Structure 1
Amino acid sequence: MAPGALLQEHDTRTAPPVSKAAPAESNFTIPSPFPNLVSTDYPDFRAELAENGFAIIKGAIPRERAVGYQEKAYEWIKSFPGDLDMNDPETWVEKNLPMTNSIKAYAYYCVSHEKFFWDARQELGVLGAFAKLWGTDELLVSFDAMNLTFPNRKDVPRRPTWEHIDQSPMRRGVHCVQGLMALSPSGPEDGGLVVFPGSHKLNEEFFDTQTTRESWLPMKDVHVFSREQLDWFAARGVHPHKVCLEVGDMVMWDSRTIHYGSEPTEKSSQIRTALYATYVPASLASADQLELKRQAFESYSSTTHWPHQYIVARPNVVYLPDGSRDPRNRDGPLERPEMTDKLLKLAGVIPY
């Protein structure tokens, strides 16, 4: 099936109820507003999401265009002061690179609103997969980050793994499905997404038996697992799996699935390039969150992976570790996107 065909194809089972969930005071948890979102009964990637907690959409972006987006990503990172040469590992050092966020992804300097990023978000194969998932073409997208990881850097230590989920223990069932578009190959030795297949099925049992409710507060949509906690999953047959992708593939995963971004091994020479994007039905967003989203869009700010709530704009004014203002700060993207109705609807700026 051609990737774009997903955008038009819907069956009678693809329209889950979309209601705004509220905390259930009686049991301290928030039920999923999408109880029938994924099921092994579906004859497509939704069955994989239900069974494994992740699914790969092959060729979501045509290879030629994905390669073009990577070239634009390279242009972006080379546009900063320094002597960065994408073909010379000796130049892959901190002084030649802009600052990353806490997970070593690029979320500042207006990168989330570069034209190539918005063009990738609007690819038919990408939109089509999320349209099939949610049962609607009327979607909002996150203003998420870009991953551009240089292998075997000599100036920084290897980052320890941080196995985590992006959903609060208070949330039960499916609340969010995240997405990552691969602009470079991701083989066994390359940097990329590592998931723990099946861990989403044990989410409630783990938090109800291995943690306390007090530890869930304040409600934060992240939980980082300790080695001891990962051993609990391992005893139940849940182990890490490196997701291997080809250029133009997209991986989607349930936010309850334990995952992390792996570093390239010493055998890899691949510069990892990937774009994160999550989509949800626009009908889920409240007026106040849409206003915050509009403000983030107009200031070219990035946000989190949530497209419709917890909209907190990451500042574009970046400060260096010594407290001084980063001279690389920007007021706008290097190449601004075309402000079409389609883009503005995905951004939540105009209604469907």
Structure 2
Amino acid sequence: MPVPVYSATETQEVGSQNVGSLKLRGHHAIPTTSAYPELDTQGYTVVKGVISKEKAQEYVDRAYKWLEGFGKGFKGDDRSTWHIDNLPEFSKGGLYNRHGSGHEQFAWDIRAEPGVIETFAKIWGTDELLVSFDGVNVSLPFPEEEMGDRAKAWPHVDQSPLRRFKHCIQGIMNLHENGPDDGGLAVLTGSFPLYNEFFETHEDEAPPEGWSWRDSHNFTESQLQWFYDRGCKWTKIEAGPGDVILWDSRCIHYGAAAHGDRPRVATYICYKPAKDITPEMLELRKECVKNYDNTSHDPLMFRATGTRIYGKLTEDEQEKPRELPVLSERAQQLAGVKAY
């Protein structure tokens, strides 16, 4: 199935909704990501050594200190305390997208790391970027009986079925050694080039109102079988401390729970050019900063998320980060509260 051809400035429309401009670096007939060619062939790649291993360990220690601050009994250096009841509320393998997690100081310090910014600047051809206010992942090797449904896979793409073009490149700042049995990103290799063909040949499976505009689609087992029949296989991505994992939002993936004896510690990072945001969404970003709300992954076309938006799951759940962030000038630009 050929990839749709869009110019570097063409704006796509879905019904009456403007879904953003495709403005990737360069002016290729078929837009490519010249710095990371694997993104255009397999849909994912690992960028090695974006920050030092020593700096990565510092962030691991700060993530553990953050969890210890909830006072539930967790101690980063005492594995006998590594139990779900000793931690604040999380989902999936170890996803923290509540508690103001997206605005913890250590999360902001990671976003402002020069190497992280440069990784995305190479994609977009500019370092004048906005960043998502996404969550933190600390997936500890819990006993299976404690994990329950939190350990289940949830294969999905983070792009609306209506957007059948390159729209977003997501990222993970990997902070701990991450091998085949540790928690982390699992991708369905071979699914990326089949994205358009799948939705074009499965229109009968769209809901009555049509495919959703939301940048997400969860796949059923029968839908996954269509990909398996075409040779697609699951691959657990391995990365070292300080590496950044990148993937195209059209690549089927999920966050695997930890099955070995090592933890996974990471933050989610996603940047796009500041010049492409609408005035309305820029104002919403400022509100999210003011209220310490998390956001979905896309920095330009996002939904506000988190405790204040969804309500508390437990009485002791907090809406604000434990360490209120003090943003540097660079971080303020990335946040959208200070203009470039």
TM-score range, shorter chain: 0.7 to 0.9
1:4 aligned partner? none
The superposition leaves residues 99-149 of structure 1 with CA deviations (integer Å, 9 ceiling, x where unpaired) of 124674112222211121111111122111110101111100000010011
Give the corresponding residue for 2:139. 149
Deviation at 1:252, TM superposition (A): 0.5
Structural mapping, 1:1-352, within 5 Å: 17-18=8-9, 20-23=11-14, 33-34=22-23, 44-45=35-36, 47-101=37-91, 104-153=94-143, 154-157=145-148, 159-212=151-204, 214-215=206-207, 216-265=210-259, 268-316=260-308, 321=313, 326-331=315-320, 333-352=321-340
* Preserved contact between residue 30 and residue 170 of structure 1 (Cα < 8 Å): no
When residues 86 and 166 of structure 1 are mapped into structure 2, their CA distance, relative to the original with a 3 A threshold, is: same
- Letter of the 2:48 counterpart: K
Query: Structure 1 residues 222-231 or 284-293, which shifts more?
Result: 222-231
Question: Residue 32 of structure 2 contacts residue 40 of structure 2 at CA under 8 Å; is this kept in 1?
Answer: no
1:41 deviates by 7.7
Q: Render the CA deviation track for 1:75-114: whole Å, top value 9, x for unaligned.
A: 0001012221334444333331111246741122222111
Q: Is the 8 A contact 2:8 2:31 kept in 1?
A: no
SS of the aligned residue for 1:156 comes to: helix
Which structure features the higher share of strand residues? Answer: 2
- In the alignment of these two chains, the number of paired residues is 328
Question: Which residue identity does 1:238 align to in structure 2?
Answer: C
Identity of aligned residues (%): 35
Quick one: which amino acid aligns to residue 69 of structure 1? Y
Task: Write the deviation string for residues 232-255 of structure 1: whole angstroms up to 9, x where unpaired.
Answer: 112222111110000000011000
Task: Call closer, same or farther: CA 1:31–1:171 in 2, change over 3 Å.
Answer: farther
Q: What is the alpha-carbon distance in structure 1 between the residues aligned to residue 330 and residue 11 of structure 2?
A: 24
Query: What is the Cα deviation at residue 207 of structure 1?
Result: 0.5
**CA offsets 1:183-234 (integer angstroms, 9 cap, x no match):** 1111011111001223121111000102338434342211111122112112
Q: Is contact 1:192–1:272 with CA below 8 Å preserved after alignment?
A: yes
Change (3 A) 1:290 1:92: same
Label 1:293 to 1:92 Cα distance change in 2 as closer, same or farther (>3 A): same
Q: Partners in 1 of 2:173 and 2:80 — Cα distance?
A: 28
Partners of 1:31 and 1:171 within 8 A in 2:
no
What is the identity, as a one-letter code, of the residue corresponding to 2:12? A
Q: Kindly provide the CA deviation profile for residues 257-300 of structure 1, in whole angstroms up to 9, marking residues without a partner as x.
A: 000011122xx111110100100111111111111110001111
217 and 347 in structure 1: CA distance in 2 versus 1, 3 angstrom threshold: same
Are 1:164 and 1:223, in contact at CA under 8 Å, matched by a contact in 2?
Answer: yes
Measure the CA separation in 1 of the matches of 2:40 and 2:199.
19
User: Is the 1:40–1:48 contact (alpha carbons within 8 Å) kept by the matching residues of 2?
Assistant: no
CA RMSD of aligned residues (A): 2.6
> Aligned partners of 1:20 and 1:61: how far apart in 2?
35
TM-score (structure 1 length as normaliser) = 0.85
**Secondary structure at the residue paired with 1:157?**
helix
Distance (whole Å) between structure 1 residues aligned to residue 136 and residue 9 of structure 2: 29
User: What's the CA shift for 1:351?
Assistant: 1.6
Distance in 1, matches of 2:93 and 2:33, equals 34
Structure 1: distance between partners of 2:248 and 2:310 = 31
The alpha carbon displacement at 1:327 in A equals 2.2
What residue identity is the alignment partner of 1:327? Answer: D
Residue equivalent to 1:5: none
**Which sections of structure 2, spanning at least 5 residues, go unmatched?**
1-6
Q: Which moved more, 1:306-315 or 1:16-25?
A: 16-25
Q: What's 1:13 paired with? A: none
3-state DSSP of counterpart to 1:196 = strand
Return the letter of the residue paired with 1:257.
C
Distance across 1 between alignment mates of 2:327 and 2:64: 23
SS at match of 2:330: helix
State the secondary structure of the residue aligned to 1:22.
Answer: strand
2: CA distance, partners of 1:204 / 1:293: 31
One-letter identity of the residue aligned with 1:51? T
SS of corresponding position for 1:241: strand
SS of corresponding position for 1:274: strand
For the residue of structure 1 that corresponds to 2:195, the secondary structure is helix
Distance in 1 of aligned mates of 2:264 and 2:125: 32
1:278–1:42 distance in 2 versus 1, CA, 3 Å: closer
